[in-house]
Amino acid sequence: TLVEAVMLEMQDPKTGVKSQPQKLVITTIPHAITGEDVVTWLANRYTIEAEEAWALGTMLVAFGYIYPLQDHKRLVIKPDTALYRFQTPYFWPAQQWPVEDTDYAIYLAKRNIRKKGVLEMHEQEQYNGLHKWMNHKWDFIVMQAKEQYRAGKERKKPDRAVFDCQERAYWVVHRPPPGTVSAMDYGLERMVDPNAEEVTGHIILSNMVVVVCVCVFSLFSSLVKYSVTCNKHDPFLAPCLPSNPWVTDDVTYWLLNMANVDVPTKMRVERWTFSFGELLSDPRGRDDFRLFLKKEFSGENLAFWEACEDLKWGTAATMNEKAQQVYKTFLARGAPRWINIDGKTMEVTVKGLKHPHRYVLDAAQTHIFMLMKKDSYGRYLKSPVTVDMLSGLSCPSPSMKRRPSISPIIVRQQEKEERARMATSGPVDITQVMSKLSNKGKEVPPPKK
């Protein structure tokens, strides 16, 4: 998009913003930039006033493309010697990573470990709320936080400081402190920067224009990206092939897209490549992925994931029985389909199975899901079987048959007309007619009042 292009140009080694190592407290931060250099570069590059460049730089900080190294709470650009760094592309908003509460809980738990229980007030409130809401898998969250904290301590001190600042800047943008309007939210509140202490009418107007333009452009880019990816699979953008069964009474579309059809359509297989969730949500795709895992001798991973889903969405009466069956099949020593998970996750899961509930296997299921997504799913998409199947399939051609359904009202009207026609066309029994006339003459008149 336009913002990403600007960021790449700003980071150009020759023509971009000058960066150099800067000492922050006792740690030397590599590739640091100053707010003054950012504002000057924007003003010179786009031939705009300093105030407009300041507003544009503040917008880049508010959206998380540039983050401050010192004052983390105020997402503004200071046109002085304040230190900033370019955010790594992994955390750019264009990546559209889902901001999940589980990831935020792991981040807060890691900060709680680092700060030894001393968090800021709003972070402590978020931490307590997430702990109460995710109590069923809090052991897994704490375990992940400890692993990330241990891995962070093994980095060099400058790298550790840079990564901590990057992660904190990401969550300040997506989980801002109370009283701060997030740039990721939509609405009229985004037009004014609540972090600024003194703003003039000109700066407010510049902020409004820049933010509105970027917001509209981002929405338009997202719509274009979705349309290009899913234009053949969105019923609002493409018709049903070969025809819509509700319009033509031709059920070929339903037959081609049955749950366990032998030969899937090309469009159906293409959806499997969009995401791992799309593949697992399709029964036919899951069967195909199961055959692939059997060839790799790792079919127990998908079987365990399905068993966890069955336990999660099954009836309460069979919960204990299913939990014990999962333990005997996948987790116990010498289990016939033993799964490979780390010791901490195994310990938490086995401990929870003593008092089973619907979400007792969430930690192990998440571990296996990520293992299949990062490892097996990529090899499945690149396997010759999948490539040959995708290239050999074809989309159904549009059907020229149009057999519109007849309204039930018209059907009943036609039936009445048919019965009337049959009644008038048949022979008339004169004896029955004469008997009815004679009986009509013998009717007793009503008494006079």
φ, ψ of residue 295 to 5 degrees: the values are -70, -30
What SS3 state is found at 239?
Answer: coil
Cβ neighbours of residue 209 under 8 Å, at least 6 residues apart?
Answer: none
The pair of structure tokens assigned to 299 is 């079919």
Buried b (16+ CB within 10 A) or exposed e, 117-139: eebeeebeebbeebbeebeebbb
Can you give the pLDDT at residue 179?
66
- Could you give the 3-state DSSP secondary structure of residue 309? helix
Please report the pLDDT score of residue 260 as a whole number. 83
Q: What is the pTM of this model?
A: 0.45
Tell me, what's the pLDDT at 305?
Answer: 94
pLDDT at site 158? 80
Strand partners, 85: 67
Spatial separation of the C-alpha atoms in residues 52 and 77, rounded to whole Å:
12
User: Among the residues of 231-355, which ranges form H helices?
Assistant: 245-248, 252-256, 266-272, 276-281, 283-295, 299-313, 319-326, 343-352
Task: Say what the pLDDT of residue 204 is.
Answer: 46
* Cα–Cα dist 141/135, whole Å: 10
Is residue 383 classed as helix, strand or coil in its secondary structure?
coil
Per-residue pLDDT 10s for the chain (449 aa) are 678 888 888 988 888 998 888 877 677 888 889 989 999 999 998 888 888 888 888 888 888 888 888 777 778 888 888 889 898 888 887 776 677 888 888 989 898 888 777 788 888 888 888 888 888 888 888 888 888 888 888 888 888 888 888 888 888 888 887 766 666 654 333 334 444 444 444 444 444 555 555 566 666 766 777 677 777 777 777 778 888 888 777 888 888 888 888 888 888 888 888 889 989 999 999 999 999 999 988 899 999 999 999 999 988 888 999 999 999 999 998 899 999 888 889 999 989 988 888 999 999 999 999 999 988 998 999 888 888 888 877 777 776 555 555 667 777 888 888 888 877 776 656 666 566 566 655 555 555 55
Here the contacts of 409-415 (C-beta below 8 Å, separation 24 or greater) are none
pLDDT computed for residue 192 by the predictor: 40
Closest to 85 (Cα-Cα) out of 170, 156, 174? 170
Residue 196, SS3 per DSSP: coil
Q: What are phi and psi of 66, to 5 degrees?
A: -130, 140
CB 130 within 8 A of CB 137: no
What is the DSSP code (8-state) at residue 135? G
pLDDT of residue 201: 44
Q: Looking at residue 243, what is its pLDDT?
A: 82
Distance separating alpha carbons of residues 199 and 188, to the nearest angstrom: 18
Residue with tokens 């195994």: 346
Cβ neighbors of 273 (< 8 A, separation 6 or more) are 381, 390
Distance separating alpha carbons of residues 206 and 204, to the nearest angstrom: 5
Q: Is the peptide bond before 242 cis (omega within 30 degrees of 0)?
A: yes
Q: Which residue has the tokens 């997430």?
A: 130
CA dist list (Å): 404 to 271, 322, 416: 30, 49, 22
State residue 180's pLDDT score: 66
Q: How far apart are CA 185 and CA 215, in angstroms?
A: 10
- DSSP, collapsed to helix, strand or coil, labels residue 66 as strand
Measured between alpha carbons, how far is residue 62 from residues 72, 84, 187, 249, 384 in Å? 11, 13, 15, 54, 45
